Amino acid sequence: RCRADKRVQPDMGAVKNVCVVGAGHVGAPHAAVLAQKCPDIKVTVCDHDERKVAQWNSSLLPFYEPSMQEVIEDVRGVNLFFSTDFASAIKAADMIMVSVSTPLKTEGTGAGYAPNLMCVERVARLIAESADGPKIIVERSTVPVKSADIIKRVLRFNNAHPMVVLSNPEFARQGSAMIDQSSPERIMVGGEDSAEAKAATAALVEIYARWVPRERIITSGLWSAELSKLTANAFLAQRISSINAISALCERTGADVDEVSFAVGVDSRIGRKYLTASVGFGGACYETHIRNLIYLCRSFRLPQVADYWQHVLTLNDYQKRRFASTVVASMFNTVSGKKLAVWGVAYKKNTDDTRDSPAFDVCKALLNERAQLCIYDPRVSSEATALGLCLADGQETLVECVSDAYDAAAGAHAILVLTEWDEFARLDFFRIFSQMEKPAFVFDGRNMLDHAALRAIGFNVIGIGKPVTPSPTVAKKKIDAVSAVGSLSQLHSLGD
């Protein structure tokens, strides 16, 4: 066993070289903004996926994020580099940021709930192998409380140099990651209560303070920082499940979820954000992180707390199933052989990420009913769609991907809006209606279209948490407006 040499301390004050391990949705945008804001710091992003690194070094980046390409092209080759050479990057770095994947375990103890920390442990071992001096290690992957201990122990047993581990959770949102990185609502840095950890925390805070107002930089204990990320995501997902639960009640009672949500949200204690009913939440984080939280609660023998969070997931699954059932029930109890246009499979707008997308669960349920799906997403490729759908034998013939929303809807019995891409609201619905089978259905899984105006054209519109028949005054107003203006898109451009 090697012991840390306490006499040689890292120079915590002067970070000039940062290595980011993991060139994914967290690592790459963060590294790009870091390089942009700190031209005197060399940032090297390392990943073991050679293809991905080659993509980062090309003009065809591995994924879409608004305005990321411009920033990368600005700093790449200047002070931002992408590489597979871990050893050199780690040796040269003062600070190493760990942004690797932490998927759920699929087998063994905790399968489906506990995170698989294999990648994090591997990175710790890589650092131990290559580091020839003291380093500050920054945990940016989302990990359960106490995970920093794993990194510390691997390093302590395998490397003689002093190392400090900090937690700096990522709060940026996919789809607006570059804005969130450039102007974050808060930065959190957690460290232990030791002189070295305090110095390392100060060094990291100094980096962020170059572009983030100091009052937005929170410092805390190591375990609080680790737990804050899981808690933040659990709260966000819980809000979505809460309004979705109310949407089911609205549909039974004739209340309108948007009216309820507005009235509830103007209470400043509650707030208006994240109160939009939808087909359900998705993405790489919410479900995974709630499962991690549940596992943590069970491990610490808090079954009631674990059950509370489990229900957020139960409700989300219910909402996706409910949506698919509504489609079938509304279309005379059968969608077999009917063409359904699916608009959007990304888990939300402004990203091409489809991980855990609710769209896939809805599509799978409808494929089991033998529906004929014609899918359009402005950013998701047909390959990614096929991969996400995990088609069963014989289902290939039931799915077609097209590159235009109009083509998807032509000849369809229904349109399903599953991602809230802005462009869907700007389409010419008169044209779409004329090319669809009748009755023409619209199932708005994001409540983003103008339902009354669509009804005025002749569509059967079913939203989430919406009364089937809208209040007569609202409907009349919209019908008059549509006939006065002539088309729905013109109506939108008038700011209706």
Residues near ligand NAD, by CB under 6 A: 21-27, 47-49, 52, 99-102, 119, 122-123, 141-142, 170, 174, 284-285
Residues 6+ apart with CB under 8 A from 133: 8, 10, 91, 161
Give the nearer residue to ligand NAD in terms of CB position, either 24 or 465.
24
Q: State the nearest-atom distance from the C-beta of 212 to ligand NAD, in Å.
A: 17
348 in a labelled binding site = yes
135 in a labelled binding site = no
275 in a labelled binding site = yes
Q: State the nearest-atom distance from the C-beta of 174 to ligand NAD, in Å.
A: 4
Q: State the nearest-atom distance from the C-beta of 450 to ligand NAD, in Å.
A: 31
Place of tokens 């032509």: 410
Output 424-428 pairs: Cβ under 8 A, ≥24 positions apart: 424/343, 424/344, 424/448, 424/449, 425/449, 425/450, 425/492, 426/489, 426/492, 427/488, 427/489, 428/487, 428/488, 428/489
| 42-46 β-sheet, strand order | 80-83, 42-46, 17-21, 95-98, 135-139, 163-167, 187-191, 217-221
Taking the C-alpha atoms of residue 24 and residue 34, their distance in angstroms, rounded to an integer, is 15
Q: 426: which DSSP letter?
A: G
Q: State the nearest-atom distance from the C-beta of 32 to ligand NAD, in Å.
A: 13
Give the nearer residue to ligand NAD in terms of CB position, either 102 or 276.
102
Taking the C-alpha atoms of residue 475 and residue 256, their distance in angstroms, rounded to an integer, is 14
412 in a labelled binding site = no
Q: State the nearest-atom distance from the C-beta of 101 to ligand NAD, in Å.
A: 4
Taking the C-alpha atoms of residue 289 and residue 316, their distance in angstroms, rounded to an integer, is 14
Q: Which of 285, 297, 374, 401 is catalytic?
A: 285
389 in a labelled binding site = no
Give the nearer residue to ligand NAD in terms of CB position, either 122 or 364.
122
Give the nearer residue to ligand NAD in terms of CB position, either 355 or 455.
355
334 in a labelled binding site = no
Taking the C-alpha atoms of residue 301 and residue 332, their distance in angstroms, rounded to an integer, is 48
Give the nearer residue to ligand NAD in terms of CB position, either 102 or 130.
102
80 in a labelled binding site = no
- C-alpha closest to that of 228 among 138, 289, 306, 270: 289
Asked if 401 is an active-site residue, the reply is no
Using Cβ positions, the residue closest to ligand NAD within the complex turns out to be 24
Q: Rounded to an integer, what is the distance from CA 226 to the centroid of its chain?
A: 18
Which segments are annotated as binding site for NAD(+)?
A: 47, 52, 102, 142, 355
> Which residues are catalytic, by number?
285
Which segments are annotated as binding site?
A: 47, 52, 102, 142, 229, 274-278, 282, 348, 355
